[in-house]
Amino acid sequence: MSDLRIVAIPGSLRKASFNRGLLVAAQEILSGRAEVELVSLADIPLYNDDVRALGYPEPVASLRDAVERADALLIGATEYNFGPSGVLKNAIDWASRPPGPPLAGKPYGLVGASTGGFGTVRSQLQLRQVLLFVQALGYPGSLHVSGAAALFDEDGKLIDEQTRQSLSDFLDGFLAFLERVRAGE
């Protein structure tokens, strides 16, 4: 399944983001099995429907295009105040609008790391609710990495082998899910 294209979206703008670190590790783990393109939400403006009516700004058009072309999305579900980060929700709002919209029917998987004890579980649940409305197709498996400060280095690289193995197991399940989606099961 090496022609599989996955767009990885971190919910954080932080350079050493743990959630970005998880996606980079996923890119390494999936090497040879899927092409994982890591995008940044740094240039995505705040959603404004007046702006949308005039035409999508370039960074938004580029994100929408990446989502459109992807076979699947892998989202790093940064959790702020028991919910997804604003930048992530904002990006989803942009990608949920016509034409298309790019998120409709798009398979996705959620992973997340937080410094707290619940590994973004609340952010992920809220994201599933939001993505249900836009009719994206969620992989039911999940990965919750808690106590992240001890598992990543100062650059945000995943350094914990047990977490890397859990991520690898999650990705095996995610790819099997994507194969089933492809087969129309």
Residues forming the site for ligand FMN (CB under 6 A) = 12, 14, 17-19, 78-82, 114-116, 118
Minimum CB distance to ligand FMN, residue 40 (Å): 12
- Least Å from the CB of residue 103 to ligand FMN: 21
Residue 20, both tokens? 């970005």
Residue number with CB closer to ligand FMN (143 or 175): 143
> Considering only CA atoms, which of 127, 149, 125 is closest in space to residue 136?
127
Q: Which is nearer to ligand FMN, 105 or 116 (CB)?
A: 116
How far from 100 is each of 106, 135, 175, 182, CA to CA, in Å? 11, 12, 24, 19
Considering the complex, state which of residue 103 and residue 151 has its C-beta at the smaller distance from ligand FMN.
151
Question: Long-range pairs for 39-47 at CB < 8 Å and ≥24 separation?
Answer: 39/7, 39/8, 39/9, 39/63, 39/66, 40/10, 40/13, 41/9, 41/10, 41/11, 41/13, 41/87, 41/88, 41/90, 41/91, 42/13, 44/87, 44/90, 44/91, 44/94, 46/90, 47/90, 47/93, 47/94
Report, in Å, the least distance between residue 123 CB and ligand FMN. 7
Q: Where does residue 145 rank: exposed (0-12), middle (13-18), buried (19+ CB within 10 A)? A: buried
Min dist CB 155 to ligand FMN, Å, is 12
Cβ-closest residue to ligand FMN? 116
In the numeric block, which tokens belong to residue 124?
A: 């992920």
Nearer to ligand FMN by Cβ, of 17 and 142: the residue is: 17
Of residues 2 and 129, the one with the C-beta less far from ligand FMN? 129
To ligand FMN, the closest distance from the beta carbon of 119 in angstroms equals: 7
Residue 99 CB, nearest distance to ligand FMN (Å)? 31
Specify the residue, 36 or 178, whose C-beta has the smaller distance to ligand FMN.
36
